[in-house]
Amino acid sequence: MQEQSQMDWIISAEEMDLRKQQLAQVLTYLRTEFVGYPFNEEKDPRYFKLLFDEFPTLNIEEEVKQYHAWTLDQDEGKKIFYRSRFRSWLKMAKRFTSGRRGFRYA
């Protein structure tokens, strides 16, 4: 049983390729479609790779698109800290998809 838990972190080469492809799609979306997002060639590839690792059960590409829609509805004068806000967005999405209801904002 212990062997299985030690092997849980290992993913197949096929799954790794899929994650790389998804990461590339998210970065392209941020760079080209997400108007107003402060894309950074150094920060964002590393940061979003960490998010993919931290939230493996979420569809990050779909979450980025939903987050983008949310930002479009905000006041133009409102300052948004995009990366930290998006991580919080993903934490809430994870709670929602795991079936937790009535959670409090931390």
* pLDDT tens profile 68-89: 999 999 988 888 999 999 999 9
Amino acid 71: pLDDT: 94
Residue 101 has pLDDT above 70, yes or no: no
**Whole-structure pTM value:** 0.78
Instruction: Kindly state the tokens that stand for 57.
Output: 């059960």
DSSP 57: T
Residue 11 has pLDDT above 80, yes or no: no
Spatial neighbors of 30 by CB under 8 A, at least 6 apart, are: 37, 39, 44, 48, 64
Within a domain: 15: yes
Residue 105 has pLDDT above 70, yes or no: no
Q: What is the pLDDT of residues 20-62, one digit of tens each?
A: 999 999 999 999 999 999 999 999 999 999 999 999 999 999 9
How many structural domains comprise the chain?
1
Within a domain: 18: yes
Residue 81 has, within 13 A of its CA and on its CB side, a CA count of 4
Residue 78, domain extent:
9-97
Instruction: Kindly state the tokens that stand for 12.
Output: 């197949």
Amino acid 47: pLDDT: 97
- Report whether 87 contacts 51 (CB < 8 A): yes
Within a domain: 53: yes
Within a domain: 36: yes
